[in-house]
Structure 1
């Protein structure tokens, strides 16, 4: 009976330990509330249009333009960036490319996805994609790993006929992330995410003045975690509970009934 009570208490402990992870892994409501999604793109890193993960941003431009967007990504996420470009009715063969840069403007490699794609003449559209490596909470400065902060998307055509330069195009961009969890956890964290802060720009005119410009204001819906929580905590708790159960079970099996046998007097 005592062992049964111990097992029940241990099972309850495991349930309580797993509950936070289940709550964290529950997908948030789809961000198809794209009513407020951006409808234009920037033309440089400084003017990149901010988008949230799960939003489908659109923009109109001209063939040969550089189109820029930015989005936040936190530790443990593996972002996937997809872009679709609707091409003009008549055009020559051309090649489109999507690049992703981190908050230090280091170009991040894609572990999968068609980052560059050539299309035939008169094709209606082209799709490119980039699946980034998992964002780490901390890394050596020389490693170049993806770190928490702002990421920049650059979409452009890299090979086209001169006659097609300036033709109108329409682009759609979307970022989604997979939560990798404790498998990507590390034993360090950044003091601050790599997010460009506010800068001052001086402009000369009749009166010189300073205008404050916020270069990045978006952050993940739950705030910057910086690697504080992962499901590795859950597995650590489960391991500790199983070790305790093994100890209790071994003790119960080896201690016997706990009552000394009676020896008849004079035996």
Structure 2
């Protein structure tokens, strides 16, 4: 009974310790007043947004609209965009693309990445669920890695009569923390943040528009894959193995001292 009580107390303590590690660590929504209200027109002028913010922007049909956001190892980002269309328009097709810090286009696991809005439809909604960001990958692979990610929103099929009409856009990024199941044995020396390793000062593009090299990062900094809840579950497994060994020894060692045989028996 004593062994049972000890094991029960140990399991309860381990469960309490593992609880915070298994909790969802995706960032909460930011204050609406701090959300950006404009979008960039290229990778270099992409508007930086935090995960959990709902950014808005106005533009013209036919423009490229760009935003950037940080994603760390173990996160699976979901990008959602809503395009608000004018009251009268022909059928048109919109598309959302996501690129990593090396400007490699990242495939969507699922989601309506391209959608056609019917004539005079008030809006069209797009979504892209990325693959889980890995802490490390082979150089030849196209796996998502920690760093800056770019969102590009544009129309891909538009009648000439609707070219240049005013549209509104809303973009939001949220992430799900995949935990130790997504952990790998390795990490990047630096996250893929363009320009961070060479120069963090402002630069200018060909049009003379000021373009600040990306300096955005997660609220708690870059983890680079050094920690995951896999460490917790590995420790739990070790403790359970030790308790099982103690219990097995107690059950098999016998009832105590050997019985003495009386002299002359």
TM-score (norm 1): 0.90
Decide whether the 8 Å contact of 1:199 with 1:213 is kept in 2.
no
* Greater mean alpha carbon deviation, residues 25-34 or residues 129-138: 25-34
* Distance 1:147-1:17 versus aligned 2 partners, 3 A rule: same
Task: Report the counterpart of residue 102 of structure 2 in structure 1.
Answer: 104
TM-score (norm 2): 0.91
Q: State how many pairs are aligned.
A: 258
- Paired with 1:12 and 1:125, the residues of 2 have a C-alpha distance of 51
- Paired with 1:29 and 1:75, the residues of 2 have a C-alpha distance of 14
Displacement of 1:93: 0.8
* Distance 1:233-1:103 versus aligned 2 partners, 3 A rule: same
- Paired with 1:94 and 1:87, the residues of 2 have a C-alpha distance of 10
* Distance 1:236-1:94 versus aligned 2 partners, 3 A rule: same
Displacement of 1:15: 3.8
* Distance 1:29-1:82 versus aligned 2 partners, 3 A rule: closer
**Which one of the candidate residues 34, 37, 40 is aligned to 1:39?**
37
Q: State the superposition RMSD in angstroms.
A: 2.1
Task: Report the counterpart of residue 18 of structure 1 in structure 2.
Answer: 18
Displacement of 1:263: 2.1
Decide whether the 8 Å contact of 2:25 with 2:176 is kept in 1.
no
Deviation track 1:85-125 (CA, whole Å, cap 9, x = no partner) reads 00011111110000000000000000100000011111110
User: What are the ranges of 5 or more consecutive residues in structure 2 without an aligned counterpart?
Assistant: none
Task: Report the counterpart of residue 73 of structure 1 in structure 2.
Answer: 71
Matched, 1:153 2:145: no
* Distance 1:200-1:221 versus aligned 2 partners, 3 A rule: closer
- Paired with 1:93 and 1:140, the residues of 2 have a C-alpha distance of 43
Task: Report the counterpart of residue 230 of structure 1 in structure 2.
Answer: 228
